[in-house]
Structure 1
Amino acid sequence: MKLNNLRKKLGDIDRRLLAVVKDRQNLSHEIGGLKREAGLGTRDYHQETQVVERGRAMAAELGLSPRMVEELLLVLIRASLTVQEQDRVSATGEGSGKRVLVIGGAGKMGLWMARFLASQGYSVEIADPEGPVEGFDHVTDWKNSTLDHDVIVVAAPLHISNEILMALAERRPPGLVFDVGSLKSPLRAGLQALTKNGVRVASVHPMFGPTTKLLSGRHVIFINLGHEEAVAQAREIFSPTMATLLEMDLDNHDRLIAYVLGLSHALNVIFLTALADSGETAPRLANISSTTFDAQLAVAGSVAQDNPYLYFEIQTLNEYGSQSLDALAASVKRFLSVVKNEDKEGFRELMERGELYFADLAKGTKPSELG
């Protein structure tokens, strides 16, 4: 049948295409090695721009959609950067001969940290009540450990992490201690106790989830608790990556996180709750969806599939959390008032104010995929 023959030809083309992608990935390994030898950074925005512009020009010559070619090349660029970043992290060997204990390492973010540290040559041990994790040495109860590790990472849920930090403060371990919690104010007492007892302590917030592979464009926040050496050592762990490393104090962190995480999570949970309570089935809405609806649904859907207990902690344990929620409630009230009163100018003002805010935001955003 002609249709089957044509589909077979498509399959053959796909196979050849993937073989070429494999060749491109192999070249990325080599290019990454040469960059390291020359002391160059992993990412070169100028080169990426040239690659995409060249691709768009070739697309025009071949009668292809320039947008489609650009999107394809950006996927390939990110894949190449992921390979090069992982190679650089491994080649740095920051952790060679050093031991790490990850308390809570069986959790999603704890396991990400364990794997990330292991890729740098650290000998990683995991202590978690969930039991052993394949590929890592298991510590049944960290409280019975000597705690003579070079680094101790606390990656437990927030409501437990403060107790762990307090207990560590009593033991005064000699190595670097840091948590990776999404909030810091619930950990204030534990972090202060470690500082008071002379422990090398910092606090870290990786601003990404456990499925992240490429750290380019991601942020890692470091809370300076008064021990400069501890912050420098914690930063060194992430320095081989392309993540943007930021420092701030504890209170500013949680004040900002109330909006960055708290507000965005709340919006998406409320959006999905309104849909679930609407009586309209998801397939019915999907059949007539718009671009805006699809984009919002995709973000909200990813939130819905995440850990509800973590999200609950982010909403309830932040000392500054009420600020963003009060702002959200006031904004909804104002929006309803404008709509119910058929206030056309008021509605325009709301949207224009948002447009101005977004314009200011865009001026300070991180570089796009093309720099």
Structure 2
Amino acid sequence: MPLKSSYSDRLKKTDHSLIALLSDRISLLASEQPSLDEQLADVAPLLAEAGIPQSVWVGVVKGCHAGLTPKSATNHVIPRQITIIGGRGRMGRLFKEQLSLVGHNVSILEHDNWEYADELLSQAELILVSVPIEYTVDVIKRAAKYLAPTTALCDITSIKTQPIQAMLEYHCGPVMGLHPMFGPNVKSFFGQKVVVCPGRSDDSFQWLLDFLKSQGGELIFSTPEEHDQMMVIIQATQHFYRFSLGVFLAQAKVDIEQSLTMSTPNYRQEIDIVKRLFSQNPNLCVDIMLATEERCNAISFLANTYSRLARLVARKDREALIKEFENTQSFFEGKINSFIQPLNTTVIQRDFKPQNISI
């Protein structure tokens, strides 16, 4: 049904004004790069007053930044020779694209060109290991024998303790672990968090860390052990929760489209996250849940919690459920105001394909 003329004209005029303002914003971003959190702090009250969800505003800001190459990233760049092991995977492709964009020379080593490993690894200044979790340590062992003592070796997988231990053991040169806390579908590193786990000779990676910051990334420093403990909650249990929800919806044959027509914003957001989870490689999702014994134990504890609460629901034990709520409420009391508003609903996962690398 065509829009009424007056409504259509007003909408068109608003769109033209919005496009002009977005153009101005992109021009300003080219000369100055405030962090996403800083920008949100400035406009959050206005968004609330106007009834605009923060996620909408964040999406617009990231869209403005996506096609923008910051001046700080391209000025005085010393081209580095980089090899990405597993560079055909989606996260590997993202890093290759972003590093190449600012002038670095990036090569890819995959299972079908290991005969060139000496050439691709021995001459590189930086090696990024971007392979599935189950192959990471073995690939590090295999690659290490080709590396010069000055070569910087770094992995970008989602567990850190075992890979960093392996890199320190098998390579005598600079070592660092990175965990990009976002999926490979992002258009840039702007507003994205990257966990940094130092290993050895941190100065050799300073140019890489500066690059990530120049692109608008936020660096979070952590020990490998602290990182892996947090990922039990941030990744493994969340994957299991959404994996379980997806399986439930499929088994119950829920009409998702109909449910969305009368849904709340939170439900739509959750369905979007579940949908994206199940659009990924199943090997990756399962590997994230099974990566360590700690993750398996935490998932089992979460499942037991579900079962215990479900039994209370089955018994219609209203008093017990209220008690559970109140106990948990007291746990969160005093912490709610300090929680960061969710800025990005991207599922933290990477769609590597096991066939991309052989060991």
TM bin, normalised by shorter chain, reads 0.7 to 0.9
Q: In 2, distance between residues paired with 1:309 and 1:220?
A: 23
Tell whether 2:126 aligns with 1:151. Answer: yes
> CA 1:8/1:128 → structure 2, altered by over 3 Å: closer, same or farther?
farther
Contiguous gaps of at least 5 residues in structure 2? 344-359
> CA 1:229/1:87 → structure 2, altered by over 3 Å: closer, same or farther?
closer
Please name the residue that 1:135 is paired with. none
Tell whether 2:220 aligns with 1:254. Answer: no
Please name the residue that 1:178 is paired with. 154
Q: In 1, distance between residues paired with 2:190 and 2:164?
A: 30
Residue 306 of structure 1 aligns to a residue in which SS? coil
Q: In 1, distance between residues paired with 2:7 and 2:317?
A: 60
> CA 1:232/1:69 → structure 2, altered by over 3 Å: closer, same or farther?
closer
Relative contact order, higher structure (CA 8 A, sep 6+): 2
Residue 219 of structure 2 aligns to a residue in which SS? strand
Deviations 1:97-135 (A, max 9, x none): 22111111111000011111112221111223478xxxx
Q: 2:203 aligns with which of 201, 210, 229?
A: 229
Q: 1:67 aligns with which of 23, 33, 51?
A: 51
For the pair shown, which has the larger CA radius of gyration, 1 or 2?
1
Please name the residue that 2:288 is paired with. 314
Q: 1:101 aligns with which of 72, 78, 83?
A: 83
Q: In 2, distance between residues paired with 1:284 and 1:340?
A: 27
Please name the residue that 1:241 is paired with. 215
Residue 92 of structure 1, CA deviation: 4.5
Deviations 1:332-354 (A, max 9, x none): 13202322333222211222344
> Which TM-score applies when normalising by structure 2?
0.80
CA contact (8 A) 1:315 1:321 kept: yes
Residue 142 of structure 1, CA deviation: 2.8
CA contact (8 A) 1:159 1:186 kept: no
Residue 67 of structure 1, CA deviation: 1.7
Q: In 1, distance between residues paired with 2:39 and 2:229?
A: 38
> Which TM-score applies when normalising by structure 1?
0.77
Q: 1:90 aligns with which of 58, 64, 73?
A: 73
Tell whether 2:329 aligns with 1:337. Answer: no
CA contact (8 A) 1:100 1:150 kept: yes
Please name the residue that 1:79 is paired with. 63
Residue 78 of structure 1, CA deviation: 3.8
Contiguous gaps of at least 5 residues in structure 1? 36-40, 58-65, 132-138
Residue 164 of structure 1, CA deviation: 1.8
Match of 1:151, as an amino acid? L
Tell whether 2:227 aligns with 1:267. Answer: no
Which has the larger displacement, 25-34 or 259-268? 25-34
CA contact (8 A) 1:101 1:153 kept: yes
Q: In 1, distance between residues paired with 2:306 and 2:53?
A: 41
Residue 203 of structure 1 aligns to a residue in which SS? strand
CA contact (8 A) 1:103 1:126 kept: yes
CA contact (8 A) 1:219 1:244 kept: yes
Residue 299 of structure 1, CA deviation: 2.0
Overall identity of the aligned pairs, in %: 15
Deviations 1:19-70 (A, max 9, x none): 54443344334323443xxxxx52386766666767888xxxxxxxx22598
> CA 1:50/1:163 → structure 2, altered by over 3 Å: closer, same or farther?
closer
Match of 2:158, as an amino acid? S
Q: In 2, distance between residues paired with 1:290 and 1:68?
A: 15
Residue 302 of structure 1, CA deviation: 1.6
Q: In 2, distance between residues paired with 1:45 and 1:303?
A: 26
Q: In 2, distance between residues paired with 1:76 and 1:153?
A: 31
Tell whether 2:34 aligns with 1:42. Answer: yes
Please name the residue that 1:187 is paired with. 163
CA contact (8 A) 2:164 2:176 kept: no
Residue 242 of structure 1 aligns to a residue in which SS? coil
Please name the residue that 1:28 is paired with. 25
Tell whether 2:279 aligns with 1:297. Answer: no
Q: In 2, distance between residues paired with 1:281 and 1:264?
A: 23
Written as runs of structure 1 = structure 2, the 5 A alignment for 1:346-357 is 346-357=320-331
Q: In 2, distance between residues paired with 1:204 and 1:366?
A: 23
Match of 1:152, as an amino acid? I
Residue 202 of structure 1 aligns to a residue in which SS? strand
CA contact (8 A) 1:185 1:250 kept: yes
Match of 2:85, as an amino acid? I
User: Please, what is the CA RMSD of the aligned residues?
Assistant: 3.5
> CA 1:49/1:201 → structure 2, altered by over 3 Å: closer, same or farther?
closer
Q: In 2, distance between residues paired with 1:56 and 1:329?
A: 36
CA contact (8 A) 2:87 2:93 kept: yes
Which has the larger displacement, 274-283 or 15-24? 15-24
Residue 208 of structure 1 aligns to a residue in which SS? coil
Please name the residue that 2:350 is paired with. none
Match of 2:73, as an amino acid? S
CA contact (8 A) 2:36 2:191 kept: no
Residue 322 of structure 1 aligns to a residue in which SS? helix
Match of 1:258, as an amino acid? V
CA contact (8 A) 1:162 1:186 kept: yes
Written as runs of structure 1 = structure 2, the 5 A alignment for 1:203-218 is 203-213=177-187, 215-218=189-192
Match of 1:328, as an amino acid? L
Residue 14 of structure 1, CA deviation: 5.8
